[in-house]
Amino acid sequence: MTQKATKPVIETPPRLTSLAHGGGCGCKLSPSVLHDLLSASPLASPFKNLLVGSETGDDAAVWQIDDRTCVVATTDFFMPIVDDPTDFGQIAATNAVSDIYAMGAKPLMALAILGMPLGKLPIETVRDILAGGARACAQAGIPVAGGHSIDSAEPIYGLAVIGTCRPDQIRRNSGAQAGDSLILTKALGVGFYSAALKNGQLDADGYQDMLASTTQLNVIGTSLGEDKDVHAVTDVTGFGLLGHALEMARGSDLRLKIDWPRVPLLKQTVELAKKGFITGASKRNWSSVSEGVVLPDDLPEWRQHLLTDPQTSGGLLIACTASHAQTLLDRIKVAGYRSASIIGSVEKGQAGIDVRS
């Protein structure tokens, strides 16, 4: 008589974050390590239809099909930043779709990327992670059309996402122009919040603040591709504000000026930063960007690390015509990004960043 296979019973499931050495976009390799890894990769220049590849560290790849249609493709996945499986799935999916929005494109569909430590998590937990991802995709108006799964040492979830746009809608991170203003659409501080959460020091209000930010889709990016006064866009994620801003500065061969007092912060960010909830990724990010950034002499170290704090599912950094900046900011706020702020400007000069206090 053949016995039926029985699934293992896990009586007390572990916290998701306890199964991962890092969480969210804080898991990303530092900019300097990534640059070293890609430096020996062959250039994609022989492919004339590849309008955007890996040369400037842009948010997604773009392939032109014809005069009116481009395919935009990206992939993003990471380990748990929160313990609630549905929240984790929704955050990871929201973060992945953001790369399509950051290019000025519209997402079409997604494929799930799933790695789970078999025997450590109950099947219900994994289902909830997938359900959270499906929720984010439903809010973006796209299906999860398939995917791939493996048995892995740590829980991993994310998406590969496909979108489309016209060639003139593409907004790269390297298109900033001298005289532009800089707009940031979401507040910083997610890395500090996640570090506090992992140490059991984030209260319920703080968790809701973090969740509201990390599950807010950057859907405003699609309309930015229609705005001729918007010259460059990138999303601020694992490299922190300075890391992604430096990519914009170097790609555009211009100097960015960031006004520290105008940078929006989540409500508890300053308190958590002063308590020392600084991620290892923030320190790695600073090591990678320090040669290209000039800080005020009186800037406290915790503020320095805030500027390199890894943002999971962060906002968009936008370079636009200065005379159009306030109108655009008002439109972004009306669309629901209430923390959005004009945080600086773009000027001629050696590629890099000056932070002003």
Burial of 10 (0-12, 13-18, 19+ CB in 10 A): middle
Rounded-to-integer distance, Cα 118 and Cα 131, Å: 18
Q: Residue 324: how many CB atoms within 10 A of its CB?
A: 15
Which of 25, 27, 165, 320 is catalytic? The answer is 25
Q: Where are the alpha helices (DSSP H) in 215-308?
A: 220-224, 240-252, 269-274, 280-289, 301-307
The answer to whether 299 touches 355, Cβ cutoff 8 Å, is yes
Beta bridge partners of 150: 115
58 is in an annotated binding site: yes
Rounded-to-integer distance, Cα 311 and Cα 304, Å: 14
Rounded-to-integer distance, Cα 311 and Cα 187, Å: 9
330 is in an annotated binding site: no
Q: Residue 199: how many CB atoms within 10 A of its CB?
A: 12
181 is in an annotated binding site: no
Beta bridge partners of 183: 318, 342
67 is in an annotated binding site: no
Rounded-to-integer distance, Cα 234 and Cα 220, Å: 12
Length of the chain: 357
Among candidate residues 101, 103, 165, 96, the one with its CA nearest the CA of residue 137: 96
59 is in an annotated binding site: yes
Rounded-to-integer distance, Cα 203 and Cα 206, Å: 5
104 is in an annotated binding site: no
Element (H, E) at 328: helix 325-334
235 is in an annotated binding site: yes
28 is in an annotated binding site: yes
Among candidate residues 110, 105, 93, 217, the one with its CA nearest the CA of residue 160: 110
Q: For residue 165, indicate whether it is catalytic.
A: no
Enumerate the known binding-site residues: 28, 56-59, 76, 99, 147-149, 235
Give the residue numbers annotated as catalytic, written as ranges: 25
Enumerate the known binding-site residues for Mg(2+): 59, 99, 235
Enumerate the known binding-site residues for ATP: 28, 56-58, 76, 99, 147-149
